[in-house]
């Protein structure tokens, strides 16, 4: 299939609009600041998108460094490097930073950059709110990281902060952790509101909902999930705050409360949160695979419905994280069956990706490599999820390294790989240059080998009974852990290569045309590369545009 030539009118328009200010008497609106203030005060979706992505990368490296501290300690049995108290702070902070600081802002950054470009909008619907959403994050995470330096140390109860570990037995800094999470939550809610308003209200004339790319669709549904569950997180940490500081009894059975109530509330937020971190990944892969297979996405409508089905089911499965806590039998069964049901829409997606590849004219540029690795490795994580979903079997796996292997497979070669695929895919649009293909492939192969060496042995360690969140372990787990640690360092240091590729691409490289990839057909490829600061100031007319 030949690459589709973009509609001329759109192209010309976006070029001409980039330079001139509109003559409505408000030219000052088009006066742009330079210097650092420009980045602090910006309302531009592309600049805010870049800020999110840079922030996400910084958090990825910080959270990754903590993961390496963990892997260093676990390289051999026995306590080698750090004290157990600090180890607990590292596992906690690593989880919190990767979830709330790296993966979520990474996807929001991509949403900021690409949603307006993919729907033909001039910017996000509420640009000032967009800036507010972003700048809350560095403040929140500075506060979160500062807890490590406070008396008693930082949060040490795991990223799930179960009560009473996080209330009765928590370090004093927990109150600051709660406030940091409140700020990150406000940021997510406002960001999601902005994304929904943008998608529902700012699509260019002629673009129906079912014309949108899968990336936009998955983000629409993700934003809904965010608005539905981040307030529940805010509620549960507020109850923690009251238990810690005001003597309430929400999670304290002595006063008639229940620690298990914490787990219910947390996972009512937590499970949709898991899908918040994977649905946009589905969207990214669903735009990259058709491009490099040079075929239309197979089963577009079923992809949309599958995404919606996963989102709805995500509200009905939360207690599968709590099978071992002592639930009534009927709850165990209910949550087991709803969880297993999720395999159906997820299977639809994997089937559609593979069918899209079938008899395609496939080429293997770096974004495609990451996308293909995503399909394979995410599916492994999905299968181990099915094993965990079976309640009687979960009694064996619960809180072992098998769980760690499972969720790292869906989050690292799943969510993180999809973000990397997206970065390689859209860098030409952002910078006007292709990323270095040779270095990109090195980065890919080192990452893929490292990540599997890191996480695959964890399955075996877990099945053999190694508990998670411990700084020391029995001798029979030594080989698995040594392999994991070597893989961890390989994966971790390979990411320096990623940073180098990105920096190199920003600074120069092979010039990219408007449509940078041979098989790309979405709207963002009709604007010049690099995309001018302002695109689609007048909405393009898409009535004749050929969607996916």
**Position 261 contacts another protein (CB under 8 A):** yes
Does the annotation count 123 as an active-site position?
A: yes
394-429 core/surface letters (b: 16 or more CB in 10 A; e: else): beebbebbbbbbbbbbbbbbbbbbbbbbbbbbbbbb
Q: Which stretch binds another protein (CB under 8 A): 125-133, 334-342, 363-371, 475-483?
A: 125-133
- Which residue among the candidates 203, 349, 406, 429 is catalytic per the annotation? 349
Q: Are 408 and 456 in contact (CB under 8 A)?
A: no
Residue 326 engages another protein in binding (rule: CB under 8 A): yes
* Rounded Cα distance, 382 and 376, in Å: 10
Task: Please say if 187 is a catalytic residue.
Answer: yes
What token pair was written down for 274? Answer: 């898991």
- Residue with smaller CB distance to another protein, 27 or 363: 27
**Residues linked to residue 353 through DSSP beta bridges, in sequence order:** none
Choices 197-205, 335-343, 365-373, 402-410; region in contact with another protein by CB under 8 A: 197-205
Residues 204-223 within binding reach of another protein (CB under 8 A)? 204-205
Q: Are 278 and 410 in contact (CB under 8 A)?
A: yes
> Which among 107, 311, 123, 321 is positioned nearest to 215, based on CA atoms?
107
Whole-number minimum distance, CB 89 to another protein, in Å?
17
Positive/negative CA dihedral, 499, 119, 43, 11: positive
| Binders in 18-77 for another protein, by CB under 8 A | 24, 26, 28-33, 37-38, 40-44
Pick the catalytic residue from 45, 46, 71, 271: 271
CB of 357 to another protein, least distance (A): 36
Q: Does 265 bind another protein (CB under 8 A)?
A: yes
With binding defined as CB under 8 A, does residue 108 bind another protein?
A: no
Question: Contact letters (x/-) for another protein, 350-389, by CB under 8 A?
Answer: ----------------------------------------
Residues in CB range of 2: below 8 A, 6 or more apart: none
Neighbours of 28 (CB within 10 A): 7
Give the gyration radius of the chain's Cα atoms.
Answer: 23
Q: Which among 106, 461, 129, 446 is positioned nearest to 277, based on CA atoms? A: 106
User: Nearest distance from residue 422's CB to another protein, in Å?
Assistant: 24
* Least distance to another protein, CB of residue 175, Å: 5
188 is catalytic: yes
Stretch that binds another protein, among 64-72, 203-211, 457-465, 515-523 (CB under 8 A): 203-211
Among 101, 153, 257, 471, binds another protein (CB under 8 A): 257
Nearer to another protein, 83 or 238 (CB): 238
- Minimal distance, residue 208 CB to another protein, in Å: 12
Report residue 466 as tokens: 């190694």
DSSP category for residue 271: H
Exactly one of 23, 254, 475, 503 binds another protein (CB under 8 A); which one? 254
DSSP 23-55: SSS-GGGG----SHHHHHH---HHHHHHHHHHH
Catalytic hit among 73, 123, 211, 522: 123
Written as six digits, the tokens of 449 are 């080998």
Is 200 near another protein (CB under 8 A)?
Answer: yes
Active site residue 56: no
Tokens read off for 343: 């395999």
**197 touches another protein by CB under 8 A:** yes
Out of 194, 418, 481, 495, name the contact with another protein by CB under 8 A. Answer: 194
Nearer to another protein among residue 3 and residue 127 (C-beta): 127
268 contributes a contact to another protein by CB under 8 A:
yes
Told to judge if 544 belongs to the known catalytic residues of this protein, a careful annotator would answer: no
**In this structure, is the dihedral angle defined by the CA atoms of residues 497, 499, 503 and 505, taken in order, positive or negative?**
positive
Of 54, 63, 58, the C-alpha closest to 488 is 63
Q: Does 451 bind another protein (CB under 8 A)?
A: no
Could you confirm whether 400 is annotated as catalytic?
no
In terms of CB distance, is 203 or 406 closer to another protein?
Answer: 203
Query: For residues 187-216, b (16+ Cβ closer than 10 Å) or e, as one string?
Result: bbbbbbbbbbebbeebbbeebeeebbbbbb
The two tokens of residue 475 are 């001798």
User: Nearest to residue 436, comparing CAs of 445, 446, 427, 447?
Assistant: 427
Residue from 135, 159, 162, 442 carrying the catalytic annotation: 159
500 binds another protein (CB under 8 A): no
CB of 268 to another protein, least distance (A): 7
Alpha-carbon gap, residue 103 to 109, rounded angstroms = 10
Please say if 31 is a catalytic residue: no
DSSP state of 97: I
The stretch near another protein (CB under 8 A) out of 70-78, 97-105, 213-221, 323-331 is 323-331
- The minimum distance between CB 460 and another protein, in angstroms, equals 34
Piece of the chain touching another protein by CB under 8 A; list 174-182, 288-296, 346-354, 415-423: 174-182
Residues assigned a catalytic role: 94, 123, 159, 187-188, 271, 273, 275, 286, 320-321, 346, 349, 468
């Amino acid at each position: 299939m030949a690459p589709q030539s973009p509609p001329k009118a759109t192209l010309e328009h976006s070029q001409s609009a980039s330079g001139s200010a509109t003559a409505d008497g408000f030219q000052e609106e088009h006066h742009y600041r330079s210097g650092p203030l420009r980045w602090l005060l910006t309302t531009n979706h592309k600049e805010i998108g870049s800020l999110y992505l840079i922030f996400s990368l910084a958090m990825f490296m910080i959270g990754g460094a903590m993961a390496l501290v963990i892997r260093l300690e676990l390289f051999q049995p026995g306590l080698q490097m750090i004290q157990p108290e600090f180890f607990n702070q590292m596992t906690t902070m690593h989880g919190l930073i990767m979830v709330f600081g790296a993966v979520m802002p990474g996807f929001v950054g991509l949403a900021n950059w690409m949603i307006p470009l993919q729907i033909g909008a001039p910017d996000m619907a509420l640009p000032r709110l967009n800036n507010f959403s972003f700048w809350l994050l560095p403040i929140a995470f500075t506060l979160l990281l500062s807890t490590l330096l406070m008396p008693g140390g930082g949060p040490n109860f795991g990223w799930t902060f179960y009560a009473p570990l996080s209330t009765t037995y928590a370090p004093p800094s927990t109150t600051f952790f709660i406030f940091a999470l409140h700020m990150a939550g406000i940021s997510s809610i406002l960001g999601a509101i902005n994304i929904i308003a943008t998608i529902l209200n700012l699509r260019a004339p002629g673009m129906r909902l079912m014309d949108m790319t899968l990336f936009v669709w998955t983000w629409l549904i993700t934003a809904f999930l965010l608005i539905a569950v981040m307030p529940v997180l805010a509620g549960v940490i507020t109850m923690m705050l009251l238990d810690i500081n005001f003597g309430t009894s929400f999670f304290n059975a002595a006063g008639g409360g229940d620690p298990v109530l914490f787990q219910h509330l947390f996972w009512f937020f937590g499970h949709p949160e898991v899908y918040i971190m994977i649905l946009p990944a589905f969207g990214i892969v669903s735009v990259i695979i058709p491009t490099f297979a040079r075929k239309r996405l197979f089963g577009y409508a079923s992809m949309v419905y599958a995404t919606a089905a996963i989102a709805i089911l995500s509200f009905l499965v939360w207690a599968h994280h709590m099978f071992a806590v002592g639930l009534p039998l009927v709850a165990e069964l209910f949550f087991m069956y709803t969880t297993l049901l999720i395999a159906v829409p997820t299977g639809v997606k994997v089937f559609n990706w593979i069918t899209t590849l079938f008899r395609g004219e496939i080429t293997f540029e770096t974004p495609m490599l990451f996308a293909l690795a995503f399909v394979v490795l995410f599916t492994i994580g999905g299968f181990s999820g099915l094993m965990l979903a079976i309640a009687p079997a979960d009694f064996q796996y619960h809180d072992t390294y098998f769980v760690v292997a499972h969720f790292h497979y869906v989050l690292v070669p799943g969510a993180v790989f999809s973000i990397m695929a997206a970065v390689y895919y859209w860098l030409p649009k952002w910078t006007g240059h292709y990323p270095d293909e040779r270095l990109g492939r090195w980065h890919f192969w080192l990452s893929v080998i490292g990540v599997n060496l890191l996480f695959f042995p964890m399955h075996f360690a877990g099945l053999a009974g190694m508990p998670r969140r411990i700084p020391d372990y029995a001798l029979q787990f030594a080989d698995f852990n040594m392999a994991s640690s070597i893989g961890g360092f390989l994966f971790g240091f390979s990411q320096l290569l990623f940073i180098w590729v990105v920096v190199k691409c920003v600074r120069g490289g092979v010039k990219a045309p408007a449509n940078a990839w041979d098989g790309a057909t979405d709207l963002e490829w009709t604007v010049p590369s690099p995309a001018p600061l302002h695109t689609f100031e007048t909405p393009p007319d898409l009535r004749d545009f050929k969607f996916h």
